[in-house]
């Protein structure tokens, strides 16, 4: 019995020794695994840190601006010279008593002024004015004088007593930038916005017709014919006006943010569609073919071309001179158009957004875009690259701002 106890104690000691050995092996294995994991963590952290530093040092940092909705008054006005149909009445006698009020309409053969020696009768009907400036003799047929109206000949008639404006029609002669030559020459009617003489930020809309245009060096000479508001300007010889509505509401975009992109015209019948995927079949000089994915783009600055879609030019895939095929038909890509837009960076990735520039107001440092015409494209509060003209920006570029 005692022998059996000794034998059991020996076995227990041996088992305990084996457990201790296995425990030490397990601990060493765990320590080794921990060291490996720690080294992997350190290595990954170093790689992450190096990548972060590299991205920081090589990142593209561009200044961006938020697109605001602006309400403003555009004051780029032009000066016009007014010509009316008017007759001047003179007399050797100057101490005249006026028998009618100024700016009233009279009939023909009405006595307008008189003194003891003479009674002055207006032979024609019209509106009476006692304000004379010496230019009453000019007509729109005096083109030589009109083209140089900075040095018009002034008639200093000291015997002039009053004038009769015989027609509601009056004319405005002005030099404007030649860039308006096409739009104005082809327009039968146009709205002029005349600046108020006393309140510079108030404008009156005047409907006019284009009577005559003539290109003179770098300017366009325009004669407008007007039928309304003659009384409002009866005593004025000059008028300030703008060709666009001065009260402007729109999206304010810096001029430097405007960029262009080249689009290719691809015939619709050369485009394959499969599971919402659009692609063309590109072939090389050896007859090898490859399917190239394309994404037709939406443009606001270019009208649609029937039978074609617009595609971004990509020098890695499809470009000018590329050959595409469709069931034996061959088309060599040779038509391009230029789209106008800005780079939107709301998400930190640049995206080219086409813009509608017609009806926009171009000022010195920025352009005001028609908000409604740019619906679905650029909108208020978008962030855009401020200077896309001086920086190399492209769609899909990751930017820091």
What pLDDT score was predicted for residue 2? 46
What pLDDT score was predicted for residue 12? 57
**Alpha-carbon span 222 to 181, nearest angstrom:** 9
Per the rule left: phi > 0, alpha: psi between -120 and 50, beta: everything else, 134 is left
Could you tell me the strand order of the sheet in which 110-114 lies?
A: 97-98, 110-114, 119-122
Cα end-to-end span (Å), the chain: 89
Bridge partners, 177 (sequence order): 219
Bridge partners, 332 (sequence order): 323
- Provide the 10 A C-beta neighbour count for residue 304: 9
Q: Write out the two tokens for 279.
A: 């692609």
What pLDDT score was predicted for residue 375? 82
Question: What's the 3-state SS for the chain?
Answer: CHHHHHHHHHHHHHHHHHHHHHHHHHHHHHHHHHHHHHHHHHHHHHHHHHHHHHHHHHCCECCEEECCEEEEECCCCEEEEEEEEEEEEECCCCCCEECCCCCCEECCCEEEEECCCCEEEECCCEEEECCCCCCCCCCCCCHHHHCCHHHCCCCCCCCEEEEEEEEEEEEEEEEEEHHHHHHHHCCCEEEEEEECCCCCCCEEEEEEEEEEEEEECCEEEEEEEECCCCHHHCCCCEEEEECCCCEEEEEEEEHHHCEEEEEEEEEHHHCEEECCEEEEEEECCCCCEEEEECCCCCCCCCCCCCCEEEEECECCCECCCCEEEECCEEEECCCEEEEEEEEECCCCECEEEECCCCCCEECCCEEEECCCCCCCCCCCCCEEECCCCCCCCCCCCECEC
Yes or no: say if 266 and 323 are a contact pair by the CB < 8 Å rule: no
Q: Where are the domains of the chain?
A: 78-245, 255-385
**Alpha-carbon span 298 to 395, nearest angstrom:** 14
Q: Which burial class, exposed, middle or buried, applies to 263 when counting CB atoms under 10 A from its CB (0-12, 13-18, 19+)? A: buried
Q: Write out the two tokens for 7.
A: 């034998």
**Alpha-carbon span 108 to 166, nearest angstrom:** 10
What pLDDT score was predicted for residue 147? 66
**Alpha-carbon span 342 to 356, nearest angstrom:** 11
Q: Which burial class, exposed, middle or buried, applies to 27 when counting CB atoms under 10 A from its CB (0-12, 13-18, 19+)? A: exposed
What pLDDT score was predicted for residue 1? 46
- pLDDT tens for the chain, 401 residues long, are 444 555 665 655 565 565 555 566 655 666 666 777 667 767 777 776 666 665 555 555 678 999 999 988 877 789 999 999 999 999 988 788 999 999 999 999 999 999 988 999 999 999 999 999 888 888 887 766 666 665 666 667 778 899 999 999 999 999 998 888 877 876 688 999 999 888 888 899 999 999 988 888 888 989 999 999 989 999 999 999 998 888 889 999 999 999 999 999 999 999 998 888 888 998 887 888 889 888 888 888 888 888 999 998 887 888 889 999 998 899 999 999 999 999 999 988 899 999 998 878 888 789 999 988 888 889 999 999 999 887 778 888 887 65
- Provide the 10 A C-beta neighbour count for residue 80: 25
Which residue in the block uniquely carries the two structure tokens 């709301």?
Answer: 346
Whether the pTM exceeds 0.85: the reply is no
Residue 171's closest CA among 267, 81, 104?
A: 81
What pLDDT score was predicted for residue 159? 85
């Amino acid at each position: 019995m005692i022998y059996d106890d000794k034998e059991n104690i020996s076995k227990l000691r041996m088992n305990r020794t084996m457990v201790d050995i296995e425990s030490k092996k397990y601990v060493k294995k765990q320590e080794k695994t921990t060291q490996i994991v720690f080294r992997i963590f350190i290595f990954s952290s170093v790689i992450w840190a190096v990548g972060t530093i590299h991205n920081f040092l090589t990142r593209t940092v561009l200044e961006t601006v938020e697109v605001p909705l602006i309400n403003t008054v555009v004051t780029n006005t032009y000066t016009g010279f007014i010509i009316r149909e008017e007759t001047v009445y003179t007399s050797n006698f100057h101490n005249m008593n006026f028998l009618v009020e100024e700016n009233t309409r009279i009939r023909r053969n009405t006595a307008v002024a008189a003194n003891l020696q003479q009674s002055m009768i207006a032979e024609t009907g019209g509106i009476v004015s006692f304000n004379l400036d010496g230019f009453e003799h000019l007509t729109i047929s005096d083109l030589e004088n009109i083209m140089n109206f900075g040095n018009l000949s002034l008639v200093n008639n000291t015997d002039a007593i009053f004038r009769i404006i015989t027609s509601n029609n009056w004319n405005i002669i002005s030099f404007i930038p030649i860039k308006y030559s096409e739009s104005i020459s082809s327009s039968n009617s146009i709205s002029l916005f005349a600046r108020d003489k006393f309140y510079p930020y108030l404008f009156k809309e005047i409907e006019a017709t284009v009577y005559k245009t003539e290109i003179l060096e770098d300017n366009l000479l325009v004669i407008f014919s007007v039928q309304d508001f003659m009384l409002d300007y009866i005593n004025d010889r000059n008028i300030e006006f703008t060709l666009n509505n001065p009260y402007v509401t729109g999206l304010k975009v810096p001029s430097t943010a405007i960029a262009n992109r080249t689009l290719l015209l691809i015939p619709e019948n050369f485009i394959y569609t499969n599971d919402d995927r659009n692609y063309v079949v590109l072939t090389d000089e050896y007859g090898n073919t490859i399917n190239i994915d394309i994404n037709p783009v939406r443009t606001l600055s270019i009208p649609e071309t029937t039978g074609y879609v617009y595609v971004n030019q990509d020098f890695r895939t499809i470009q000018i001179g590329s050959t595409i095929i469709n069931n034996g038909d061959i088309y060599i890509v040779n038509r391009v158009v230029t789209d106008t837009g800005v780079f939107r960076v709301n998400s930190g990735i640049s995206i080219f957004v086409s813009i509608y520039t017609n009806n926009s107001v171009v000022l010195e440092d920025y352009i005001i875009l028609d908000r409604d015409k740019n619906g679905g494209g650029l909108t208020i509060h978008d962030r855009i690259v401020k200077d896309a003209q001086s920086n190399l920006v492209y769609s899909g570029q990751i930017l820091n701002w």
